[in-house]
Amino acid sequence: MATSSRSLADDIRGRSDAELIDLVLARPDLARPAPADLTSLAARAGTRASVQRAVEALDRGHLQVLEAVVVAGDAAERSTLLHLLGTDDAATVDAIVQDLWQSALLWRGADGDHVVRTVPEVLGTAVAGLGAPMRELRPSSLPEHADPDHIRAAVAEAPDDSRAMLERMTWGPAFGVLPTATPGRTTARWLLEHHLLVPVSTDRVALPREVGLVLRQGRLHRSAELTAPDIEARPVSLVDAAAGGAASECLTHLDELAATWGAEPPRVLRAGGLSVRDLRVTQMALDLDPEHTAFVVELAYAAGLVADDGEVVPVWAPTSEIDEWSSSEAGHRWSTLAVAWLGSTRAPHLVGRRSTGTGPANALGPDVQWPAIRAIRREVLRELASLEPGHAADHTSLRERLAWRRPNRSAAVLDEAVEAVLRESEWLGVTGRGALSEAGRALVAPLLPPPAPPVRGGGASKAGVANTSNGRRPARGRGDRANGSAADITSNGQTSAEPGAVAEAVAAAMSAHLPSPVDHILVQADLTAVAPGPLVGGLGSFMRLAADVESRGGATVYRFTPESVRRALDAGWTAADFTETVRRSSRTPVPQPLEYLVADVARKHGQTRIGGAAAYIRSDDEAVLDTMLASRDLTPLRLRRLAPTVLVSSADPRVLVELLRDNGFAPVHEGQDGAVVHAETPRRRAGARRRGPGPMVSPVDRPYTQSLVDGLRAAEATADQRRVEDETRPGPRIQAMDPVVTLSLLRDAVADRHGVWIGYSDGHGATSRHLIHPQKVEGGRVRATDESGHEKSFSVHRITGATLES
């Protein structure tokens, strides 16, 4: 690196290839799109948007040191920084300053470190809660008003009430409102008269930075937090078993959601999303709490298993992809869900919370979209992966560490999001009993930074050192996080690892811990059946149809009821087939109460048949029809007897079936040929969500960055050669200029009939010099005669600069 840099551009041009690679890896946004040369790279690194992104990515230690450099001023001594930070750990401060220089938030001149111009703009005027300097607040102030000794003397003489007012403003905010009461105004007047406060408006005052530093005893922060706090961890057992059980339950919930929405898909709200009522119905069907239900629904949507079907009256329905997914091996099914959850930008925990609109956020609605949740998920899982296997993190210490990692985020919002991620990872099976499972580690592995080659010593590793007590591995420094963030930049939000390979590894890791599917149940005398594990496909479908789920856990308990048996009979099962299927699938004898229940429901089932005449009701039992006619609850049907065994109604046959069943009858639907119409479970399917290949974007990893730096070096060498050639060429030096300025100069040359030297870029990017006499400027082109007298046309957008012929 050159020691005589005069600007950020000089500093970056003087860096070695390894240092340039570190810069781009620390700030991947500088590589998109690829800069033309090192000067363009430096210009982009100094823009406000790029600097703001870099500052927002700083942890608390790096942010504190950067604030100290800003307050200390350019080329400050290291002892000044240590005093402002209130620490004597010079090695850690030096390592962090090196990181800030590596990230191009600082540049080094012959006299020391300088802050990039836009950094103070991004940090704002209230750096670390301090106010603006005295000279900015009051340009007419005397130098002694900012002298620390003078300020200490004034503070020592301050009355008690004035000193109390200063203490309230010491650690920020540095602005206050003048009291309206007379005593308060008297107190503030004393501080104003002694220049300890400066008025900024008629009713507001500010505490100058120099006064704030004196009140803080020269310290910028209450305490220096240069290294990450440790995560307290506790050992837990049976992690993978617990994760496998949770994963199996999650797959069951997805199957039940598909069955429920396939039969009765809920409507899509006009503004998008799922209504509160439909979410509650789904909650009752899945027998989960509201938060867990919202998670299952959002997980299915993220995995592409449910979608808006796009019809005139749109509904949320399973997609065609769910059929292939349901028939896959359990490990691959879970892998699809886990990868989708990790890459999703939707936050299920926001469902039901007050949104920016007029009401709460709806599941599957636009208000649940929150891109920051994906980064938070990854940060939480990275921290869990840094613990020894089989160790669960204490939630409080984990939140404190993540708050240290991202000090610019709202603490309340971050805490809520972290708790939601931990809760969702348990529901999904990424963690078990609070510790990362084997499958979870396979899922997180691509997010972890690879070991960096030994480019330079020192650096962020010193700043991020943490002990290995409580089952904790050494903490990672900022350089590791930068490399990790670089690996995250791909076209689909995944890491640079091959998605297919990641999914296979995750599936293999989880398959070993998922409960094996069972092909039998245990029927008991109380009309319940116990499934000792996840049921195989056909038996699972039969049990969901013929019985109601009573409880879940390691084993699922089903209960046979008259309604569930009738549901199976409506779907075309006969009493004999029903009983035989239960007998064949049960390891215990079929109890008599179940046989009696099936026989009784079958005996009543279909005694009354309904068809459409508009609709007719016929029954061999005249007493049943008499009861229907006498029922007040059936009056809206306007039943009328045509014959002793036949009634008619203007209602739809399906409405008749539902209302009669609600009033205790057991009719079946009869077709035009007199045969019973079996109520097959409908299978509504939405069209598959269109998933194009997306833009092909190379990850900003080390190989790509090496190639980029090689190209920048080549471009810089070409630029140096051009500068040498320009010095030997006739004519003035042509400076690059804005196209608007170029057009104005060319139009003036046309009016004055004056010659112009232009720099012109060809299709390969090479720039040549031409002396032309412009004749006309229109349509983005310049018609002119060159030095040989030939008339030519030049594209204005290829003219890099112009200057009048002397």
- 47 and 184 together in one domain: no
Q: Are β-strands 608-611 and 640-643 bridged in parallel, bridged antiparallel, or unpaired?
A: unpaired
Average pLDDT, the chain: 82
- Say whether both 264 and 395 belong to one domain: yes
Q: Is residue 248 part of a domain?
A: yes
* Whether residue 295 sits in one domain with residue 377: yes
511 assigned to some structural domain: no
Cα–Cα dist 141/194, whole Å: 12
Interval 612-640 mean pLDDT: 84
d(CA 179, CA 273): 49
Contact 55, 122 (CB under 8 A): yes
Q: How far apart are CA 17 and CA 30, in angstroms?
A: 15
> Does one domain contain both 154 and 107?
no
Is there a single domain that holds both residue 164 and residue 296?
no
Model confidence at 494: pLDDT above 50: no
Average the pLDDT over each of 148-157, 172-181, 191-200 and give the range with the smallest value. 172-181
Judged by average pLDDT, the poorest of 315-324, 603-612, 634-643, 655-664 is 603-612
Q: How confident is the model at residue 427 (pLDDT cuts 50, 70, 90)?
A: very high
Q: What is the pTM of this model?
A: 0.71
Looking at the structure, tell me whether residues 266 and 302 fall in a common domain: yes
Structural domain includes residue 245: yes
Chain segment 193-247, per-residue pLDDT in tens:
888 888 888 888 888 888 888 888 888 888 888 998 999 999 999 999 999 989 9
Q: Would you state the structure tokens that stand for residue 327, as one six-digit string?
A: 């028939």
Which of 447, 466, 500 terminates a domain? The answer is: 447
pLDDT tens by residue, 343-377: 999 999 999 887 655 678 899 999 999 999 999 99
Task: Tell me whether residue 529 is in a domain.
Answer: yes
Whether pLDDT at 694 is above 60? no
Can you tell me the distance from the alpha carbon of 158 to that of 162, in angstroms, rounded to the nearest whole number?
Answer: 6
Tens digits of per-residue pLDDT, 87-126?
A: 888 999 999 999 999 999 998 888 888 988 889 888 887 8
Distance CA 416, CA 482 (A): 25
Whether 18 and 48 map to the same domain: the answer is yes
The answer to the question of residue 657 being in a domain is yes
Does residue 599 sit in helix, strand or coil? helix
Rounded CA-CA distance 42/14 in Å is 11
Same domain? 559 vs 637? no
pLDDT > 50? residue 464: no
Question: How far is Cα 708 from Cα 283, in angstroms, rounded to an integer?
Answer: 52
Q: Name the pLDDT band for 184 (thresholds 50, 70, 90).
A: low
222, part of any domain? no
**Residue 1: predicted pLDDT:** 42
User: What b-and-e string marks burial along 105-134, b requiring 16 or more CB atoms within 10 Å of the CB?
Assistant: bbbbbeeebbbbebbeebbebbbbbbbbbb
Is the pLDDT at 295 greater than 90, yes or no? yes
Find where tokens 């000794």 sit.
Answer: 149
Can you give the pLDDT at residue 489? 35
Q: Judge if 123 and 139 occupy the same domain.
A: no
Number of separate domains in the chain: 6
43 and 138 part of one domain: no
**Closest CA relative to residue 580, chosen from 542, 624, 531:** 542
In this structure, are 259 and 334 located in the same domain? yes
* 374 lies in some domain: yes
> Percent of the chain having pLDDT more than 70?
86
Q: Which domain holds residue 528?
A: 522-604
Distance of CA 147 to the CA centre of its chain: 48
Does the pLDDT value for residue 281 go beyond 50?
Answer: yes
